A and B are shown apart, each in its own frame.
Chain A
Amino acid sequence: MMVHASDLRAWSSILVVAALAIAGECLIAAAMRRLGDLDDIRARSGLKGAIRAVLTSPVFLAGATCMALNFFALLFTLSAVDLSLAGPASASLTYVGNAVAAKLFLHENVDRRRWMAALCVCVGVYLISK
């Protein structure tokens, strides 16, 4: 089976988009987990205190940077790949990748129920985008 250079480029850029989204979401989730319940912080220090706590977290800033890079990577990808492929492919990869990364890096208990949910979301997003 021949793999065209344009296909390789398309799938590489889709993988980069998904990887940046996974890194961004996991870093932001890790930052929020470290900060603790935002409702408690808001009760103690007010809304400004809660916003300050989030914006001064280096892990959150790293996650937000990844999400910004994800946005520009998506723009770059859309300039070369059809939206009908890039949209569902990157979204589906992101959902499955998030489940794997949450188990490996955030040590979440991803039980059979959550794996099933991740797979259903992955296929569901693909079908909705068709």
Chain B
Amino acid sequence: MKHTLTPQRYLILLAVTLSAPLGDALLTRGMRQIGTVDLHHLGLLWQALFNPYIDAGILLLIGFFASYMTALSWADLTFLMPATAFGYVVLALVSRFWLHEPLSGYRWAGILLIVCAVGFVANGPSLTEHPELNRMDSGAAR
């Protein structure tokens, strides 16, 4: 296994971690402004597209997908899992401090465990070496 994280790659991991929960929080805030959507009021979905919070949320979720794809091209899935799970921690903290929702003891314990999980893998290697894939790559390069 090798450890190949440059500062730019750490920034991509940060984007993976932050963009999904912040996007979800913005969508929540936007949809609270729009109101409840049901079968008789489907037009509200069209209206939602012109809400700045919804637009920002959609942009962040597109950014999440792009950064996640990029990260998967140079890191193992099991290396990235705690990074994506850290989004739950960000979401809980955003709920507590931005949306002013209460955080129970269980949730603080959950946050602590996910932080531990990130700590377990953060200092380890990011990618498993596959000699046969490397041979294919060097063959393709020739």
Which A residues form the contact surface with B (CB < 8 A)?
25-26, 28-29, 32-39, 54, 95, 98-99, 102-103, 106-111, 113-114, 116-118, 120-121, 123-130
Q: Looking at the complex, which of B27-35, B36-44, B46-54, B108-116 is the stretch in contact with chain A? A: B108-116
Q: How far is the CA of A95 from the CA of B82 in the complex (A)?
A: 9
Q: In terms of DSSP, what is the predominant structure of the interface of chain B?
A: helix
Taking CB atoms and an 8 Å cut-off, the chain B residues in 69-84 that contact chain A are: 69-70, 72-74, 76-79, 81-82
Q: Which of B74, B104, B117 contacts A124 (CB 8 A)?
A: B117
Q: Which of A108, A123, A127, A129 contacts B76 (CB 8 A)?
A: A108
Which B residues form the contact surface with A (CB < 8 A)?
1, 8, 69-70, 72-74, 76-79, 81-82, 85, 88-89, 92, 104, 106-107, 109-114, 116-118, 120-121, 124-125, 128, 130, 133, 137
Q: In terms of DSSP, what is the predominant structure of the interface of chain A?
A: helix
Contact status A37-B72, CB under 8 Å:
no
Contact status A121-B82, CB under 8 Å:
yes
Contact status A123-B113, CB under 8 Å:
yes
Q: Which of A103, A106, A111, A124 contacts B85 (CB 8 A)?
A: A124
Residue contacts A-B, CB under 8 angstroms, 14 given: A29-B72, A33-B130, A38-B70, A39-B8, A54-B69, A99-B81, A114-B78, A118-B81, A120-B82, A120-B120, A124-B116, A125-B85, A127-B113, A128-B110
Besides A107-B130, A125-B85, 13 other A-B contacts (C-beta < 8 A): A32-B69, A33-B130, A39-B70, A102-B76, A108-B78, A109-B1, A109-B125, A111-B124, A114-B120, A120-B120, A121-B114, A123-B110, A128-B111
